[in-house]
Structure 1
Amino acid sequence: MAPSERPGSSLTPLARLGFGDLQDAEKYLEELSVETGLTRDELLSDVAVAADPDGAISALVSIVRRDAAPVRALRQSAHGWRTLWALLGASTGFGEFYLRHPEEIGQIHTFGALPSSEGVLASMLESVAAKDGFAPDGSETSWVALRVRYRRILAQIAAYDLLSDSPINEVAAVSSRLADAAGAALEASLCVARTRISGGAAGAGLFPRADVAATQLSIIGMGKTGARELNYISDVDVIFVAGADAEAEESLGQSKIVDIATRLALQTMRGVSSIEIEPPLWEVDANLRPEGKQGALVRTLDSHLAYYDRWAKGWEFQALLKARPIAGDAELGAAYVDAVQPKIWTSAARENFVDNVQRMRERVTEHIPPEEVPLQIKLGPGGIRDIEFTVQLLQLVHGLSDERIRQRSTLDALDSLVAQGYIGRAEASTFSDHYRFLRLLEHRVQLRHLRRTHLMPEDRSDLRILARATKLAETGPKIWDQWERVKREVREIHVRLFYRPLLSAVASLPAEERVLSTDQARDRLAAIGFVDPAGALRHIAALTTGLSRKATIQRHLMPVMIRWFAHGVDPDYGLIAFRRLSERLGDTHWFLRMLRDSSGAAESLSYALSGSHYVGELMEWIPESAAWLDDPAALRPRTGTALQQEARAIQTRHTRIDDAMRAVRALRRRELLRTAMAGIGGDITIEEVAAALTTITDVTIQATLRAVRREVVPPEDDSLDFSIIAMGRFGGAELGFGSDADVMYVYRANDVSAERAHALSTKIVSELRKHSEDHRLPLDLDADLRPEGRNGPLVRSLDSYAEYYRRWSLSWEAQALLRARGVAGSVKLITAFMELADQVRYPAAVDPQSLREIKRIKARVENERLPQGVDPSRHLKLGPGTLSDVEWLCQIIQLEHGHDHPELRTTSTQATLEAASAAGLIPEIAAQRLGEAWRLSSRLRSANTLLSGQTSDVLPADRKRLDGIGRLLGYPPRSATSVEEDYLATARRSRRVFEKLFYG
């Protein structure tokens, strides 16, 4: 054990008092005792109030070494000595201030209560000896005096704050007085500025004193300054307004008034922000003025109003919510605020207002450097901005019709919102407490070095100092844990707070206690994105009215889910679909438990219903599917083996074909829904989606064929072989949502007569097409790729296929066979057919005329098959650079080289591209661009179907639908333009490659 750590050591008490560097502390105490005449015990009597005793004693020694007299004088005041320890222990910035101006220590004993607003203003004006709006001395000396006095006032406010028993309860009062001090500093600086431009030191004689006196300049505080919520060190946001009375305006002219006012504004800003002997106080930020940095620094009131009437954006009115005159001409400032008030409170009626506010909040978060996000007290998720934006949005939306919630400060606004019933008391109380907590953290980290910052410290020592300075925790880890908890709770409330008042007013409260009228609730729903707010109100009331357990849980969950619906593509449909699902499942125990206990499942459900009509319509018929959202494993596509086992069990259970097919259709719908929900949630890739959809279709067709064969083919004809060959994207195992199932039918008579075999096979095909029909989720068995196309027989024998391909086969039919794959029926027959197909689709040599014919057909398809009136560039299947281009190019490569390159013998487009690139048949970059276009076109087709519930090959031009498609593809909200631009650019690159390789 070191000597300093032994029991009884003189250093042990220092450690208990919070000192870390005990040897230096002991040395400093000896020096201070000599210089001040105080004993060791007297020096240490109040050190416990210092958040950082080491920093405090080090700063104190530095001050004493420069000038010990003020410190000796302060020893007569116990309160002053205690205050000095508190200031130096919380702020190295104050240590530097008193080192520059040790004489200011003589004022500390006067610090007690929080100074009044009037007292702060009087003191600041006294510092520059202001009289009648002018300062006697317009030199930099006045600026120095101003800044020193401001820091004296800042120290007085900080002393009150730091010595408070519960500083978290003083946040509002302290912030208010800091804003008053900022306004007073600007007032004093304006007095100096008037002198400077009318005969003071710098710029002497620019304007006559009388002209300067006649010019009105009002300084409007914005942001935290306007709301009287200022930090210790923060930019002070302002707007400058110029004016004069009628006589002065006629005498001087508006141009000169603005010129004088602009000079005054510039000098006023310099007085607090320029580099001088005494450091700047803070930055005066005038960028919230009309046109921002590009706009005039000073405007007249009329000029301001003209701009707001014609050009202002929604965020500018949000900023004006906190506008307040803080310095300069009070009458002009009041006129400005009165004039902009109506504009502020009608801004929420603007189109896309709420959407724009939400986007602005998202942009703030996006611009935070990634390494700062977990440390941001102000801007990060769960930070101060989450609270402020939520409260302001509520105010602006509802303040249109309710003047009682038009408050500037966040805490006052919260109180008003609670009083008027727009938010619940519990949520508002938590929000209010956490706002004070976060602001207190912000105050202390800024006090530490009197520097503008909003970042939590990571160093253990700094966290310990922060904990002591806030009096919220005993240790650094504990203050960090509190902060993490507060962030989580703030973020949760930020997500849901906007919507809870709607439910408490419309559904939960008895009629006589409702504070929101139906019209107000309807206006709010419209503001957050519902197209039919009246209908939404009816659905909400139906879901939440009553005393049942179901209604109770729905009332608890609906605020959150309304928010998720509102952030979806179609909130109206999402709410309707949720109501229908709830009516089917709302009384079941598992559904209620899932809704209550699994927020992830509830959010996923809201997202799926508001983002996909395809999912919503299927969930109404398969309501038990909601349970999958609470189990990630349940959303994984089931294996082909598992589905086959279930399908065979259906055949065992049901002897009647109608019953069997009803069960098979249910199986198919259920698995398509499972795949859609997984795809929407991003749980599976596009390749997994295609594989799952293909497997589901395979199993459905196989089960249908078994059921039909059992019904159609008598035992005596059982030797008949019958098979189904998948073609097109089905054969390539590349199905998307809404894709047809291209097929061909083949049979082999064996011991059955040729006529009988053909009749039975024709009957099988007819029954297959009949029983595979599903009016809710169509399964189109398309046989148009058979020999001779629509003019050929639906079903042929194997020998007939062989004879046809030998004698009459056209180039496009060999091309079609490239994607042939057996999926159902006799395995031996499938094997024989595929051997036949290989001879046709992988020839040893390709007739050049056949290749020319394929290219001619491709050109004709582009010209003739596009639907009339459709923009070719938006057609996802036949448009330039899309599915058709990529697939035809792959197929012509397979025809030419499949015989010599076995790796090309695949039905998969993507596998063909990879094999062709690996074999050097096409450049790697070409394969990459073609693959990107094929994948994106495929994803867009499926997303289009999922969104609308209807199959379409055309990329919609409607921005809302485009945004919905983008959301399903993983784009952020409001990405319609990005979706369109990405698709068109990808297709253009693909088309250039296609034309070079296909026609070149």
Structure 2
Amino acid sequence: MSLPTLAELPAILLPYASRAEQSFRDAVAALGDDHGLSAWTPQRWADFARVCAASDFVIEQSVRDPLMLLELVAWGELDRGFAPGELCSQIAGAVQQAETEDELGRVLRRQRTRQQVRIIWRDLTRQADLVQTCRDLSDMADACIDQAYQWLYQRHCAQFGTPTGRRSGEAQHMVILGMGKLGAVELNLSSDIDLIFAYPEGGETIGVKRSLDNQEFFIRLGQKLIKALDPMTVDGFVFRVDMRLRPYGSAGALVLSFNALEQYYQDQGRDWERYAMIKARVVAGDQVAGAQLLDLLRPFVYRRYLDFSAIEALRTMKQLIQQEVRRKGMADNIKLGSGGIREVEFIAQAFQLIHGGRDLSLQQRPLLNVLGTLEGQGYLPAAVITELRNGYEFLRYTEHAIQAIADRQTQMLPDSPEDQARIAFMLGFSDWAAFHERLMYWRGRVDWHFRQVIADPDEEEGEESELVVGGEWLPLWEESQDEDAACRQLTEGGFTDAPKALKALAGLRGSPQLRAMQRLGRERLDAFIPRLLAQAVEHANPDLVLERVLPLVEAVARRSAYLVLLTENPDALRRLLTLCAASPWIAEQITRFPLLLDELLNEGRLFKPPLAPELAAELRERLTRIPEDDLEQQMEALRHFKLAHRLRVAASEIAGSLPLMKVSDYLTWLAEAILEQVLALAWRQTVARHGSPQRLDGTLCDPGFIIVGYGKVGGIELGHGSDLDLVFIHDGDPQAETDGAKPIDGAQFFTRLGQRIIHLLTTQTNSGQLYEVDMRLRPSGASGLLVSSLGAFDRYQQNEAWTWEHQALIRARVLVGSQDVGHAFEQVRANVLRRERDLAKLRQEVSEMRAKMRDNLGTKATTAGRGANAFEATAVFDLKQDAGGIVDIEFMVQYAALAWSAQHPSLLRYTDNIRILEGLEQVGLMPAADAHLLREVYKAYRSAAHRQALQNEAGTVAGDQFADERRQVMRIWQSLGLS
């Protein structure tokens, strides 16, 4: 197909051109100088009128930054194609001027806008053909990604050290693979970019005191890179970044080593991932290592034999496509609809997968080149290739025209007369009718060829499916009835918003995961969905059930064994729907980690979590089955264990079989069991590398180390999403060297041990992280040593700690580690907290700290808490931070313990607020009624906070809730002399 010429500007678009010219002239005039505008030729103004009449984006950017367009004209960049490397040099020069990450983001966005205006201008004035436009867009993406990566890499190395290979000893760089249209150098005017991040080999960073694992280094770097490119700011965006093509999709690690990638694709790679890898290209990072990676993955994509095994998968995909394009509303999508862009791509990729292993000429990325090879090698007749090529180019020009209007990622034909006129004008037609007639011709030809290539000669029609459970819903799922009938059936089943439910099912049907399913998986899905609908209508709110469960179905589509589990175990499906209906948090957890579905099989186990000794024993047994040197599997086992038991606790809480206090008990026991094993793992690894440290008396530490829990874990009050406030303490000799092959002094050893513990707890794997860890309560906070000796901890608490740190110490207790060090810590804690205090000064300091917290963390509607009515009853109530809330009760308990434990040491026996309040009542320091009230209110607040967490809602409630309770709490606050 020849390059389409622009038609004459239609009357409906003349006002657009006129307004654009006037707005631009006004914007230039505001600069105080015409900057060469007076030298514009009539042809330049004609081009300006045509481009701006077609593209709102160009005129918006030109009026916003007129100098940009004036410079593009003055420097001749609208009138010529760039030389190789020229575009990259421009972006690199701009990026080098950035001093901060914020500046980097601004520079990239402004460069993108500048180049986008230039590319659209050249496309709409027909100075660039389809291939040139796609190449410019892809070159711009390559340059933005690579320059941002290089900028961030240097600064990350300065901060975290240089990532170094464990085997090679060489510095490591990330390899960034571009997939899809970016990989094929076929980006459209408003494409997102599909990326996969990898690095050559494991190891850790060097050159800094605290090294990072290579994977952790590159995960942080990858997150920063996405942040530099993806978010929408006042300067726009660079590219929308999609990372879902990586192994395990959104649930997978952001960055994997070459070995991990190779293993994944060898063991678990799916057919759709083979399709995706056809277009993979190294777009940024280490090009040499990237070439090696693609060589590693090539056997996965291209089989060395004639791959007839792909044919069944191709036919399954054909069925999925046909089902999708029959959906209402998809007919006008020129990419996904019948006869659309994707069908041309599918034809080419089908031949590549089947024959590419033996015919190396098919191992290429750009679609037009592949079509040429199919013709040259005789796979398809020349006439067919000509029609496919012309149809594809017409569709791509149409796609560019649609996206040039507003720089939006869409392939839907517009329905407004103005935008329809724009499309026709850009494609060279006098009106919409003429354009649409031609478009439908090409779509018809593409669809015909698509059917010829993918047809199944043995396909039989008219066979009736067997009657199955939920079979009455099968016609709705298979779209064998019209929309009105489907909506009626949903409404009669109890759905409140039948069109929305139908749309959700259609969205599932058209999702990428389902389009990529193999036939067996699709058959399993078709058996499951009717059962799901049949059970959903048994619930009081089937709309909510469907809304929360369909994302899970989409998430497990590639692992259809989970669908079989639910199909064959209706009780498990019933429990799933009940839990998801009760809690969006549970629904999200199971969707993110589908392995949790196994927990639904045993009702007795699900609703009866084990006690602390059983928890610890079960985890120890699991880990003993894993080889000691298999750290990755150990980390996964720890995470699986936490996820499973946390689900059991949440399920029991929802079922009402586990009250609030027991929920916190179980979650705390779970954390302690995990910390016990994490400490053991970290200790073994650190000792294996450096040997054992010594105590001051010369004996070996084993381990001479404790993990102290503060805050919620210290007070046995963990919630479902709580982090861990930890402090590490040892009693080793900081000067004495370890007895290993690579000896280090004791201080270094325990620091590395602490770093290892944090790494094991916080590293993101396929199953998430174990816990967020907060170490800021250690001596001197974030500026202090990661691990303190017991003596240093004692001296700090006695001589330097603030009152608020002593308040925190009230809730501190030893979680795991050496019993001897633990006993010594308890003595230090008691000595610090039991000393006599100036009560007036104590009241003042506690009151001032609480006032600061309310001001900084409470809602604006609450005051500093003075007076019995110091809040607005109509405003929202932050359960934790507002006046009369959780923290007020905690501060009262802490004040009382600090004030009176010298006379009543029993107040230090426990670290949880409930039992300290009981102690205050028993020794007569608080009236029984007040102590009882505070305990009940505290539990009520925390129960409400738990409910909010399970509903994925913030810890706030309506102001008319707990109004009386708040007033009583504030009354008691004042009765203690606090202000």
Name the TM-score, length of structure 2 as normaliser: 0.44
By relative contact order (CA 8 Å, sep 6+), the higher-ranking structure is 2
Name the TM-score, length of structure 1 as normaliser: 0.43
In terms of Rg, which structure is larger? 1
